[in-house]
Structure 1
Amino acid sequence: MSSSAPRMVNSYGNMISGFSARLTREELEAMVTKEGFLHANPDRILPLQTTHTPEFLGLHLQDGFVKGSNFGGGVIISMLDTSVFPNHPSFSDDAMSSPSAMWKGHCDFGASLCNNKLIGGRTFVNGNVGKSPPVDEEGHDTHTTSTAAEQFVKGEEMLGEALGTTLGMAPRTHLAIYKVCNDEGCVESDILAAMDAAVDDGVDVLLLSIGGVSIPFYADDIAIGAFGDIEKEVFVSCATGNAGPFSKMLSNEAPWILTVAASTMDRSIRAFVKLDNGVVLNGELLYQQKDFPSIPLPLVYAESSSNPDAALCDDGSLDGLNVKGKVVVCERDDFSGRIDKGKTVKDAAAMILMNQAVDRFCTLVDPHVLPASHIGYTDGTALTAYIGSSGNATTTFAFQGMVLGTGSASAVSSFSSCELSGASPGILKPDISGPGVSILAAWPPTVDSSSAMTGHSATFNMVSDTSMSTSHLSRIAALLRAVHPDWSPAAIKSAIMTTPDTLDCSSNPITDENHLPATYFALGSGHVNPTKAVDPGLVYNLTSDDYFPYLCGLGYTSKQVQAITRMSGSCDTVGRIPQWDLN
């Protein structure tokens, strides 16, 4: 332990009565013996987990629900992430009213950057509260925040595609930004400090696109903090995680949190891959190069190379291989980034990124440094068979641009974490799915978007993950709070979960990455339908007292339950219920 580092890191008074500190094991053991001690958790470092989505979800500008909610006007949404780029046009305050008198926070971006849209901004990184401006140096939170709450910005696009007016799901909401993450991750004690401050500041909705592996709720600071938030009538939504489709890899499983999976929408940016044997493969491609060669180009697939990483196009794996003027085939995997593969083959004419079996039909639109068509596993199998049987394999690309109205919309993405909850298998998680694939939203021009926009500063970017879907759901919750200010967080969660769609745009069951009907362990209760959620007919409410017997039923001790709920009492007197009997 560094002798110069302060021993006390953070103190908490809203979600829990406690503090975070740097202690030796001997000091912790001594503290356990003190009167009033309940529980101590080791600090963890957790990872971070638009132009068309409002229309896709049925949120039209003249719709009664949207107009009736005043676009979420008056509601304060807090984001705990990497912070935002404050002077992005998405965060202007045109036509914005002042926040209500309930707002008690402050803004450390600087007087010239704070406005009626961006009303708060604070840093909570490594316990250094408010010691530096909370500017986004990663891009993640700028994109996530603008997905849901950005202002109307006309004429935005990415590399000429997805042109339109960008607006968030709730463009008149106020934003309070809490920076809790940097390039090293997000420390739980900082997250808890920001959650504590957000309640003091007077926020209505809290969004976290952060999560770790499944652990008991009494050891999970996000679960503990979220419980304190809902007691203060703050709605909390979190990402389910991006570790799918493997089992028991869910994050944020507590039943008082809205846990969100990622699904597709009805927009595709297409490029066909035409092989010289007449086979045409369906791909998605953002950078549709205007002067791309129309003649057949040689195909290169390095799977047979002596370098085992060559088929994956890992950094340095193709050194010495002449790819200039050719189309390089690369396999997608879960360890090297998709955009990084494009950088490895940047001297080629183009890249074909093909799925391995685990991702099947799930393709994504990424801002690659060269034209790169992403194809599914079945098409990839056909491609490699053709290359193996041909002595002179060639291909051409046929660009189609943006296509709307694709029938398989709302399909659950392969990266979205799914399967049984490890912390509470009797509770279905995730709760709901929402758009999280190929989402166009704001991006800091100071952060590299890794796109083909060489020499330009990208102010928008396309990203796919459960952070994007969680952002959509948080803003839908804000709209519901604006229409129903008397609804509790549990009532809002109930309205969302009892009114979703289970059929896609073609009236077929929503599918997963295998084109099979998605299970509820992947989809949750369904794909969000905000226009139905505003008038669900019936909502199921819960109070914090209802969770005490549920937590006892998980086998927790009375002290462990008290560490979560801050309630007196014991499991012997309150009783225990099976987890599936909650609500």
Structure 2
Amino acid sequence: MCPSPAMASFPNFLLSFLMLATLFSTPTLCYINPATAQVQQNATKTSAYRVYIVLVEPPRSVVGEDAHRRWHESFLPISSTGESTKSRLLHSYTEVFSGFAARLTKAEIETVAKKPGYVRAFLGRTLQLMTTHTPAFLGLKNGTGFWSDAGYGKGVIIGVLDTGIHATHPSFDDHGVPPPPKRWKGSCKEARCNNKLIGAKSFVGNDNSDSGDEVGHGTHTSSTAAGNFVPGASDHGLGTGTAAGIAPADHVAMYKVCNGTSCDESAMLAGLDAAIKDGVDVLSLSIGGSSVSFDQDPIAIGAFSAVSKGILVVCAAGNDGPTAGWVTNAAPWLLTVAAGSVDRSFGAEVHLGNGKSIHGEALTQKGKPSSKSYPLLFSEEHQYCEYEDYSHVTGKILICKDLMLNAQKYYIHDAIGAGAAGVVLFNDKASGYTIDLRDYNSSVVQVNAADGVVLTSYATSSKSRSVATFTYNNTLLGIRPAPIVTGFSSRGPSYVIPGVIKPDILAPGLNILAAWPPNTGSASGPFNIISGTSMATPHISGVAALIKSIHPNWSPAAIKSAILTTSDGSILDQHHGKASAYATGAGHVNPTRATDQGGARI
């Protein structure tokens, strides 16, 4: 294999690894200029401005960030419209690597590539967003044991790259949280900054953009990792109890790098760069994109810089399961997290006219459901409830296949609006026993794939008139089997480096209750139940922070090893069969054993 110009600027040990990884994952090819090839493959419009991430050699004399920025500006041409280089330069990087992000045309990037000091250019990608019973499920008990021994994570700083944070949420109150350690160099631009929320910066929009969370995702992940104790938490009366993050005494620093549900790669790098400068201990990234080779992935390169400086980087495996090979964030130096279930159900029963009952779940539960039975309606032709005319559904319970897309919410809304008595959604075969709950604000019960077969068979039987009624059980604990791997959790192997098992570890990611901003459109707060490897990731970030609190001198590799070697094996998949290592990694996280290497599984 021929080393590329960009590789020449990497540390020797990283260069060796990247070369080895590429040998095992791609044909052995030599490129005259990999940067030009990358640009030519992706840029299709020669005149349109696109965001490019450009790696350059460091300035010869380093005298602060201003000198770096001026050096980066020197690569930018003056546009034909007279636009200044300052407005073209979006981000200047000094920690993840020496480089910058700028708005350039294809012709301009070709000009930039000819300047002395240029190394490589990447066309910026758009990444996607991928959490309070879970502490107890993980064996963390207030006032005793590992949680208490770790001081609930005191003295550790978790940096979260996400959609922002709702700073006034009670999960980010600093009661019982000491001041941040003196090594902290960051700043907080939120109105409510305290000993809990010590950092809040935005890298989306203009320089005056605040770090508030209009989506909810960042508030949810931050509180899962390190939210303080909040009594009386629930989502519409479900999951009632004391909410707490995995490391409730930790400090949180939010780096807003996502606008809506998408995240610009250049902003991600800017947040990562700032977090390294600020002095975080753990980085939590519930974000991912399509896999590319590591030497072509700025996020993987930047994360390597963070790890080499003692910062553990925890990332989501992705939500593209159960098909093999779709795992994201597969670089070996990352701690990549898959999503599992917990032993909690928000129970609802579908009682059939033939005397059978089917257990399901529902986020909208009536206090006094009617005992009246309603006719069942299932149509193979309209299996997703996508009728053009809903007039015939009045007074009936519809049985529909779960499309797992927002469009289905509109179908259900129209059906209920037309007088349907309720809806039962059943999983597809691939999802199996995974019930990923969504709030339809209506009488909707979700059931697994096997029970969907029973329901549709009964509803279409000509032997008797098929009827059903709903009852609700609120919150049930002790559900078994648990944990199981969720159907949506991405599986390995990574096609970039199939010889490395990814994901690394399994953590709770199904129907997780955590903090939420008010009036986001999808929920009204102050807590919300959602699912994803996004929710599993901050669980591991919190566990890592607890370990770091007890063992402040442990390296990222030592913490990662402790989590993996003490995990619980023999996990089931979404079909209740034995899950493979490409679904679970080392197994399910066991925080109470993670600081005791003598308790590692052999």
For the superposition of Structure 1 and Structure 2, which TM-score range results when normalised by the shorter chain? 0.7 to 0.9
CA distance in 2, matches of 1:340, 1:263: 29
Question: Shift of residue 386 of structure 1?
Answer: 1.1
1:118 aligns to 2:179 (yes or no) = no
Contact (CA 8 Å) 1:342, 1:369: kept in 2 or not? no
Contact (CA 8 Å) 1:313, 1:344: kept in 2 or not? no
User: What SS does the aligned partner of 2:268 have?
Assistant: helix
User: What SS does the aligned partner of 1:10 have?
Assistant: strand
Letter in 2 for 1:436: G
Letter in 1 for 2:525: A
| Greater shift in the superposed pair: 472-481 or 154-163 | 154-163
User: What SS does the aligned partner of 2:500 have?
Assistant: coil
Cα deviation, 1:415-467, whole Å, max 9, x if unaligned, reads 000031111101000000000001011111121235xxxxxx43111001101
Cα deviation, 1:327-366, whole Å, max 9, x if unaligned, reads 1222113444665554343333221110111112111333
Contact (CA 8 Å) 1:449, 1:458: kept in 2 or not? no
Contact (CA 8 Å) 1:449, 1:461: kept in 2 or not? no
What is the 5 A alignment of 1:182-193?
182-183=259-260, 185-193=262-270
1:245 aligns to 2:322 (yes or no) = yes
129, 143, 147: which is aligned to 2:220? 143
Letter in 1 for 2:547: L
Contact (CA 8 Å) 1:261, 1:432: kept in 2 or not? yes
| Greater shift in the superposed pair: 30-39 or 212-221 | 30-39
Letter in 2 for 1:385: S
CA distance in 2, matches of 1:108, 1:276: 59
| Greater shift in the superposed pair: 35-44 or 209-218 | 35-44
**1:272–1:83 Cα change, 3 Å:** same
CA distance in 1, matches of 2:411, 2:283: 35
1:361 aligns to 2:361 (yes or no) = no
Contact (CA 8 Å) 2:215, 2:261: kept in 1 or not? no
What is residue 583 of structure 2 aligned with on the other side? 522
82, 91, 94: which is aligned to 2:172? 91
User: What SS does the aligned partner of 2:513 have?
Assistant: strand
Letter in 2 for 1:422: Y
| Greater shift in the superposed pair: 424-433 or 321-330 | 321-330
70, 90, 107: which is aligned to 1:26? 107
**1:328–1:192 Cα change, 3 Å:** same
**1:25–1:82 Cα change, 3 Å:** same
What is residue 451 of structure 2 aligned with on the other side? 379
Contact (CA 8 Å) 2:566, 2:599: kept in 1 or not? no
Question: Shift of residue 153 of structure 1?
Answer: 0.7
Contact (CA 8 Å) 2:126, 2:264: kept in 1 or not? yes
CA distance in 2, matches of 1:538, 1:379: 40
**1:105–1:337 Cα change, 3 Å:** farther
522, 544, 548: which is aligned to 1:477? 544
Unaligned runs of 5+ in 2: 1-47, 50-80
What is residue 255 of structure 1 aligned with on the other side? 332
**1:258–1:267 Cα change, 3 Å:** same
Cα deviation, 1:157-205, whole Å, max 9, x if unaligned, reads 1222211011110111111111111126101011001100011111111
Cα deviation, 1:75-103, whole Å, max 9, x if unaligned, reads 11111110111111111111221111111
| Greater shift in the superposed pair: 318-327 or 373-382 | 318-327
CA distance in 2, matches of 1:264, 1:13: 40
Question: Shift of residue 406 of structure 1?
Answer: 1.6
CA distance in 2, matches of 1:459, 1:324: 34
What is the 5 A alignment of 1:273-352?
273-304=350-381, 310-314=382-386, 317-336=387-406, 339=409, 342-347=412-417, 348-352=420-424
Unaligned runs of 5+ in 1: 305-309, 451-456, 503-508, 540-583
What is the 5 A alignment of 1:139-538?
139-183=216-260, 185-304=262-381, 310-314=382-386, 317-336=387-406, 339=409, 342-347=412-417, 348-390=420-462, 392-450=465-523, 457-502=524-569, 509-537=570-598
Alignment RMSD (CA, Å): 1.9
Cα deviation, 1:501-553, whole Å, max 9, x if unaligned, reads 01xxxxxx3211111100110111100001111112399xxxxxxxxxxxxxx
CA distance in 1, matches of 2:145, 2:453: 48
CA distance in 1, matches of 2:187, 2:406: 40
* TM-score (structure 2 length as normaliser): 0.83
1:67 aligns to 2:148 (yes or no) = yes
User: What SS does the aligned partner of 1:40 have?
Assistant: strand
**1:318–1:383 Cα change, 3 Å:** farther
CA distance in 1, matches of 2:134, 2:345: 12
| Greater shift in the superposed pair: 60-69 or 488-497 | 60-69
* TM-score (structure 1 length as normaliser): 0.85
CA distance in 2, matches of 1:234, 1:478: 11
CA distance in 2, matches of 1:20, 1:65: 43
Letter in 1 for 2:229: F
Letter in 1 for 2:195: N
Letter in 2 for 1:57: L
CA distance in 2, matches of 1:301, 1:265: 31
Question: Shift of residue 398 of structure 1?
Answer: 2.6
- How many aligned residue pairs are there? 517
CA distance in 1, matches of 2:171, 2:389: 42
Question: Shift of residue 232 of structure 1?
Answer: 1.3
User: What SS does the aligned partner of 1:125 have?
Assistant: coil
Contact (CA 8 Å) 1:10, 1:189: kept in 2 or not? yes
User: What SS does the aligned partner of 1:47 have?
Assistant: strand
Identity of aligned residues (%): 45
